[in-house]
Amino acid sequence: MSTVSKIDVSIVYEMFEKITGKLDKQANNVIEPAQFDMIAMSTMAEQLTNVIDEVRKPAKVEHYHCHTIDIRSNWFFFSWVVLVIVIFCLFWVIANQRQTIHQYHDNDLKYRYVKMQGQTDEEKIYQLEQQFKYSDSIRIIRKQVEKYEELVKEQTEQQERAKRNNKELENLQQKLKSIKKQRKIKNENHISLFS
Report the chain's C-alpha Rg in angstroms.
54
Q: Note the pLDDT of residue 136.
A: 87
**Domain range list for the chain:** 9-56, 69-133, 136-195
Element (H, E) at 132: none
Q: Are 103 and 96 within 8 A, CB to CB?
A: no
Q: Are 145 and 116 within 8 A, CB to CB?
A: yes
Instruction: Give the single-character DSSP code of 179.
Output: H
pLDDT over threshold 80, residue 34: no
The stretch 94-109 carries a mean pLDDT of 91
The stretch 176-188 carries a mean pLDDT of 82
What whole-number distance in Å separates Cα of residue 119 and Cα of residue 121? Answer: 7
What whole-number distance in Å separates Cα of residue 87 and Cα of residue 77? Answer: 16
Q: Between 7 and 151, where is the model more confident? A: 151
User: 115: number of CA atoms within 13 Å, CB side?
Assistant: 12
Q: Are 12 and 57 within 8 A, CB to CB?
A: no
When the pLDDT of each residue in the chain is averaged and rounded to a whole number, the result is: 81
